[in-house]
Amino acid sequence: MTTQPSNEHNTVVPTCYRHPGRETYVRCQRCDRPICPDCMRDASVGFQCPECVAEGNKGVRQAQSVFGGRAVTTPRVTWALLVINVLAYAAETVRTDWVLTNFMMNAYEVGYHGEWWRLITGAFLHQPLGGGGWALTHIVFNMWALYAIGPELERRLGSARFLTLYLLAALGGSVAVYLFGIAAVGASGAIYGMFAALFVLAKKLGYNAQGVLWLIGANAVITFVVPGISWQGHLGGLITGALVAAVFAFAPARKNRSAIQWGGCAAVLVVLVALVLGLPPFAVQAELGIFG
């Protein structure tokens, strides 16, 4: 008489392909591999494993913004820029002299000591409290403008393109200060770049841009009427923002649009860097009596 082995000992319990120590009787609907609860992803029927979900998403076209960037639901770049500006102002309030000495835009330090970082860091600082004039108004207005306009531009352009616009406009304002000014602080170059971008995009989309023109005009009057405001930074940011926005808006939609857009931004950056490398700080030279 022979005895048959029990089926209980012959049955192999399947385990998750990603977690071999976990028993499971659920299988991926696409690849049929066993998956544990941590690896289950809801599918139209049953569950799929993470790899099959990722593979399936490759064939799904990502939603895009109007001008080619990835669609934005939450303007995270705008909020991040707001936070950075406010934190920089807090640091400036605590250690005013140290922050301004080392990070404000100063044409002499950039031109003769090679402190290039000031071209960007100066755009995140503002008139310090106790500095006289419109100290608190300076950051309040700039942050209000970023809060009011930033989300709309970020949704139209996509987060990466909006950040590029903001930083290049800020750099353009600083380059203008380097060439024709002495020193300055503030995000106004970037904000004026946003004003210009709003106008360019409105014209491209066929919207009424009269309100934007009034906004730019009113701020231009303030720039030249109120003393102590850097017209160089405002004008440099305005021109740079308009150029970058035009690159984003008018790149042909069906012919390598992204390559043209990023190539155009790179060209703007090269021009700005070349201006600083190739030209002296004219206003500083005039003040110091340096000629040639």
Tokens of 44: 């139209």
Torsion of CA 96, 102, 104, 106, to 10 degrees: 130
Strand partners, 103: none
pLDDT at 1: 47
Q: Computed from CA positions of residues 91, 175, 187, 154, in that sequence, does the dihedral angle turn out positive or negative?
A: negative
User: The tokens 């120590």 sit on which residue?
Assistant: 21
Catalytic residues: 188, 234
pLDDT tens track, the chain, 292 positions:
444 454 444 567 889 999 988 888 888 888 889 999 889 888 777 788 888 888 777 655 567 788 988 889 999 999 999 999 999 999 999 999 999 999 999 999 999 999 999 999 999 999 887 655 567 888 999 999 999 999 999 999 999 999 999 999 999 999 999 999 999 999 999 999 999 999 999 999 998 888 888 888 888 888 787 777 899 999 999 999 999 999 999 999 877 999 999 999 999 999 999 999 999 999 999 998 886 5
pLDDT at 215: 83
pLDDT at 276: 98
Name the residue type at position 156. R
What's phi and psi for 70, nearest 5 deg? -65, 140
pLDDT at 61: 54
pLDDT at 8: 47
What's phi and psi for 274, nearest 5 deg? -65, -35
pLDDT at 159: 97
